Amino acid sequence: MSTEAVLEQPTRPLTWLTDEEQMFRSTVRKFAKEQITPLVRQMDETSLLDKKLLRQLFDLGLLAVEIPEEYGGQGGSFFQSVLAIEEIATVDPAVAVVVDVQNTLVINAMLRWGNAEQKARLLPKLAAEYLGAYALSEAGSGSDAFALTTNAVEDGDDYILNGRKLWITNAAEAGLYLVFANANPEAGYKGITCFLVDRNFAGFKVGKKEDKLGIRASSTCELLFDNCRVPKANVLGEVGKGYKIAIETLNEGRIAIGGQMLGLAQGSFNHALAYTKQRKQFGKYLQEHQGIQFQLAEMATKIEAARLMVYNAARLREWGKPFVIEAAMAKLYASTIAEEVASQAIEVFGGVGFTKDYPVEKLYRDAKIGRIYEGTSNLQKITIAKGLV
């Protein structure tokens, strides 16, 4: 069954979206259906993001949603970024995370902490040609992010970076990397500083690309720093304030991961629902069997609950209200139900759902990462619990 048929499924109106947001959502949905759908399987099998598709994402402005128009961006909102991620994830969560990291981590950090010179120099590139990567994780600092060992030593007008980063999304295609290194190890996490590293800087190179279970079109690579010289003008924010940048951007990024997992769940449900209208067993279409109806009802209810949680967290962030607990809840719940709904979708398909001839097995593989990256489920529970007591 083709993905095109699935995307024709009717969608109930979302009364909590403005007319502008509805139009934006429809535009992204149309793009995902027409331009991403035909490439999904090939990109998954080759573990490569299609270069023409990346160019289209730039041209449509989906990699510059919140960048002001004066810098070549769309001048949109954080909520629109989440909508774009959700809609793209219904077709391919791998492409969605490319859009996610660019908008909610890299550009978000640049807008909040970049100075006037940095914005003028780099935002137009991020809007038109530079994919961004967010380089925090290391071999010994996953959940314990501030145990990082990559260091930065002051040398005249520069800093010299040495170390190794792992599991960096967008690394293979990126032109700009937000790299977290410790400029004062004796100060512990208060020495962590964020550096803007261009792909062409001497002493820097992209290393091994990971061979992953899911979201395979999204590159995940190691980064190597061997006396990499970075100008002091490329310090983002203040020296020693990198931990603050990391914490706050990841809190916001978790809402977007919730949106990605929401879209994945919706895509899985759409495939399952369409199949129940085509497949007959015991003389009736699957959708006429009460057992299947109950499965669909449970799936739809979980998706609706996740959507309300994700949208609520996104609205709170946009309105300048406290949102950290809600963001953690949204990511925790959306990543949980994405895995559950994708699994149930395979069961609706039966044996064929376990094959690569149908798209639900890929969505099931893609779902697993949602409970791991940008804060594991256990870390979300810790964040929620701390906020309650």
**CATH no. for 133-240:** 2.40.110.10
Sorted by where each begins, the domain ranges of the chain are 3-130, 133-240, 244-388
Helix, strand, or coil (residue 206): strand
Q: Do 244-388 and 133-240 have the same topology in CATH?
A: no
Helix, strand, or coil (residue 162): strand
CA atoms within 13 A on the CB side of 235: 21
**Residues contacting 112, CB < 8 A, separation 6+:** 245, 248, 249
What is the architecture, at CATH level 2, of domain 244-388?
Up-down Bundle (1.20)
**Does the annotation count 339 as an active-site position?**
no
Q: Output the pTM of the full model.
A: 0.95
Per-residue pLDDT of the chain (389 residues; tens, 9 = 90+): 444 444 444 455 566 799 999 999 999 999 999 999 999 999 999 999 999 999 999 999 999 999 999 999 999 999 999 999 999 999 999 999 999 999 999 999 999 999 999 999 999 999 999 999 999 999 999 888 889 999 999 999 999 999 999 999 999 999 999 999 999 999 999 999 999 999 999 999 999 999 999 999 999 999 999 999 999 999 999 999 999 999 999 999 999 999 999 999 999 999 999 999 999 899 998 999 999 999 999 999 999 999 999 999 999 999 999 999 999 999 999 999 999 999 999 999 999 999 999 999 999 999 999 999 999 999 999 999 999 98
pLDDT of residue 72: 98
Distance from CA of residue 55 to its chain's centroid? 18
pLDDT of residue 385: 97
Q: Which phi and psi (to 5°) does residue 235 adopt?
A: -80, 125
Q: Which of 87, 326, 361, 374 is flagged as catalytic?
A: 374
CA gap 90, 25 in Å, rounded: 12
CA gap 269, 201 in Å, rounded: 45
Question: CATH class for domain 3-130?
Answer: mainly alpha
CA atoms within 13 A on the CB side of 196: 24
